Amino acid sequence: MIESLQNEQVKYVVSLQRRKARQEAQLYVIEGWRFVEEGVRRNAPIKKVFVCLEREPIEWQPLLTRLQEQGIPYEEVDARVFRKMSQTEEPQGILAVVRQINYSWSDLHIHPKTVLLILDGIQDPGNLGTILRTALAAGVRYVCLTPGTVDLYNPKVLRSTMGAVFSLVLLPNQTPEDILDFCRRQGLNVFMGDVQGDSIYQTKLSHGPLAFVVGNEGKGPSQLFRAADIQRVTIPMTHEVESLNVAMATGILLYELVRQRGFL
C-alpha cells in the first residue's frame, strides 16, 4: 500500500492533471467506479489502477476479477494519498491511468454508411463530452477535432463522455484544410450546422459516406469551413429562439440523420 505523499507514482499521477504533462506522457487519468468499470469493459488501454479500500465497496471484488483476467496492475493507497491524487472534490476511491491512442487518417475505414463528425472549436468541456457520448449513441465512431477545441483529455470532458471516449476513433488537432481534403478524397458529402442553413428536416441527407461540421458555441464554424462548398443545415426554432446549446443541437442533427438513413 502507498502511504507517502512523496511516492513517485503519486507525484506522477498528480502531474497528469496538467495538459502539458498529459501530452508529453501520452497518458490521462479517469476517476470513479463507473468510469473505471466502463474502461475495463470497453478494453481501454489502462496502464494501472489505484484504489483506496478503507471502506471496501461492493463494486471492488467483481472489478478485481476483471483486472486480474485482463492483466491490469493495481495498487492500494491510503485515503490521504488518494485525495492528493484525485482531481474531484469528493473522490470515490478509485482512479486509473490510461494510455492515449493516437489514431491517423488510415484508421478511418470509409463505407457507404460512414458518418464523420467534425468538431470545430468547441470550447466547453461539458459540451464536448456530451457531444462525444451522443455521437456514439447515434452510431458515429469517427470524430475529428480542430485546433482550438478544448483538450480532449480534460477531466471534465472525460467525465461527460461517460465512457464513450473508449469506443471512438478520435483525431484531435486536425486543420480544416486537412479535414476537407480527406473528405474530398474519400467522397464524403459534407454538411455544416449553421443558423443560415436550410431546415434539417427538409434536407435530404444523401446516401453514401457523410461528414457533419459543428462549430464553436458562440461563433459557429470557422471561416475555412464557411468558405468551402458545404451544404448548410439548421434546426428550425419558434418564439424567436435564436440558438440551442451546441451539444443539444448536435444530438438533434445526428438523430435526424439516423431517422433518415435508418442506421439504428
Q: What is the pLDDT of residue 263?
A: 65
Range of the domain at 90: 8-99
Same domain, 197 and 256: yes
Same domain, 135 and 241: yes
Crossing angle of helices 33-41 and 60-70, in 10° steps, is 30
Same domain, 78 and 115: no
**End-to-end alpha-carbon separation of the chain, Å?**
47
Do residues 135 and 164 touch, judged by C-beta distance below 8 A? yes
Q: Are strands 210-215 and 142-145 parallel, antiparallel or unpaired?
A: unpaired
DSSP 3-state of 131:
helix
pLDDT tens track for 184-233: 999 999 999 988 889 999 988 877 899 999 998 888 888 889 887 899 99
Provide the domain count of the chain.
2
Same domain, 92 and 109: no
pLDDT tens track for 12-43: 999 999 999 999 999 999 999 999 999 999 99
Same domain, 127 and 201: yes
| Boundary of a domain, candidates 99, 126, 161 | 99
Same domain, 122 and 62: no
Q: What is the pLDDT of residue 241?
A: 84
Same domain, 169 and 123: yes
**DSSP result, 30-55:** EESHHHHHHHHHTT--EEEEEE--TT
Q: What is the pLDDT of residue 228?
A: 79
The sheet with strand 210-215 has its strands ordered as 169-171, 142-145, 115-120, 210-215, 189-199, 231-234
Q: What is the pLDDT of residue 159?
A: 93
Same domain, 234 and 131: yes
Same domain, 163 and 253: yes
Q: Judge whether 191 lies within some domain.
A: yes
Amino acid at 96: A
| Boundary of a domain, candidates 31, 66, 99 | 99
Q: What is the pLDDT of residue 139?
A: 94
Q: What is d(CA 150, CA 160) in angstroms, rounded to the nearest whole number?
A: 13
Q: What is the pLDDT of residue 264?
A: 58
Q: Judge whether 245 lies within some domain.
A: yes
Same domain, 145 and 82: no
Q: What is d(CA 227, CA 222) in angstroms, rounded to the nearest whole number?
A: 9
Q: What is the pLDDT of residue 90?
A: 87
Do residues 161 and 247 touch, judged by C-beta distance below 8 A? no
Do residues 115 and 211 touch, judged by C-beta distance below 8 A? yes
Cα 63 to the center of its chain, rounded Å: 24
Q: What is d(CA 215, CA 197) in angstroms, rounded to the nearest whole number?
A: 13
| Boundary of a domain, candidates 49, 70, 99 | 99
Same domain, 44 and 145: no
CATH number of the domain to which 256 belongs = 3.40.1280.10
Q: Judge whether 92 lies within some domain.
A: yes
Q: What is d(CA 264, CA 119) in angstroms, rounded to the nearest whole number?
A: 23
Percent over 70 (pLDDT), the chain:
99
Q: Judge whether 2 lies within some domain.
A: no
Same domain, 44 and 74: yes
In the predicted model, what is the mean pLDDT of the chain?
93
Amino acid at 206: S
